[in-house]
Copies of this chain bind each other. A is one copy, B any other.
């Protein structure tokens, strides 16, 4: 069964839109002129196929092109390469939907844990979840672990490291992971809670395997991964490892240009929902409306919908809006996101210093109020 990608094509008329769709079907597969495509298997199976094309609005067309699983092979990188590799360099072309179909869903079954799995791990059976961020970069491992302790003690669901904390000399990955695992475990022992700790995965490609193993063996509960810098394949590599059995939270660093221009890249829901889910992320971080970035309420709603669409791909995952959250906005945020959501709580919490737990407790209370 073929998978399909729906593109928005900006073109003056249907004739040109059709020509461009035909060019995409070539570009994403054989990458040779149409008249040189060999007859037989390559023409009938490998070559992209225009399944549907029509006008969306003046100057805007929507084309669905199907591709063969043979074209995508088994690696996530090649799957994404067929979806939008070279065509990402075309102007006036945006991916607005990906339907993996049965065969690609079998190869890339998505989140290992999903919403229910994460709730089971942290014991938060209902209501929005809270994920404070350990930072700033420059603190040593002891200071970061101390913050982790305070956050877990105060009722955080996921204690997450800042994506900018990798393997710098101030707080090397392994030292930090060991100390923070211990600190969060101590808090959990004191509260009887089950706060999860997700370190920010560091490591050059020839070290990352060992670092994943190290984090698992040290007792980390999951991993924060930046697919924009490490590659989406790293997310899939973790998600598909049943023996490892670790959830993944993905971070949008370096991915901004994929969504910012409406005439290139991916729709917000595809980039921060569908693609993250296909890669196997359980929690997808994105910039919340009202924070430091320019995502609109519509962009954020599209992402949350794509993360949680009950029709897949794979298990429903948790949207994780970062920034713009406060006790005062808890009601508005719950109205917008519902309860299957992980709120990142960032730098403003740090203003409280040793009283950071009070900020988390206040947010927990606000979310519990709106949860009823």
Contacts and interface: CB of A to CB of B under 8 A. Distances in A.
A292 B27 contact: yes
B137 A29 contact: yes
Given A77-B166, A231-B229, A88 B255 contact: yes
* Best-surrounded residue of A89, A230, A236, A287 (most CB of chain B within 10 A): A89
Contacts of A265: 256-257
A125 interface: no
Contacts of A90: 256, 292-294
Interface stretch (A79-87, A191-199, A311-319): A79-87
A340 interface: no
Interface string A228-249: 1111111011000000000000
A118 to B, nearest CB: 23
B205 A136 contact: no
A204 B233 contact: yes
Nearest to A77: B229
Given A139-B42, A257-B265, A205 B205 contact: yes
A26 to B, nearest CB: 9
A205 B292 CA distance: 33
Interface in A199-238: 202-206, 208-209, 226, 228-234, 236-237
Contacts of A208: 205
A164 B229 contact: no
A264 B209 CA distance: 33
A205 B237 contact: yes
Nearest to A89: B256
Given A89-B255, A90-B256, 16 more contacts: A29-B136, A29-B137, A29-B164, A31-B135, A32-B347, A36-B347, A37-B136, A42-B136, A75-B166, A85-B229, A88-B255, A88-B257, A205-B208, A230-B231, A231-B231, A231-B233
14 contacts: A30-B137, A42-B138, A70-B168, A71-B137, A86-B163, A86-B256, A88-B254, A204-B233, A204-B237, A205-B233, A231-B233, A256-B265, A257-B261, A257-B264
Closest 10 CB pairs of A and B: A32-B347, A89-B256, A30-B136, A88-B256, A231-B231, A42-B138, A85-B253, A261-B261, A46-B138, A73-B168
Interface of A: 23, 27-33, 35-38, 41-42, 45-46, 70-78, 80-82, 84-91, 135-139, 162-164, 166-170, 202-206, 208-209, 226, 228-234, 236-237, 252-258, 260-261, 263-265, 287, 292-294, 346-348, 350-351
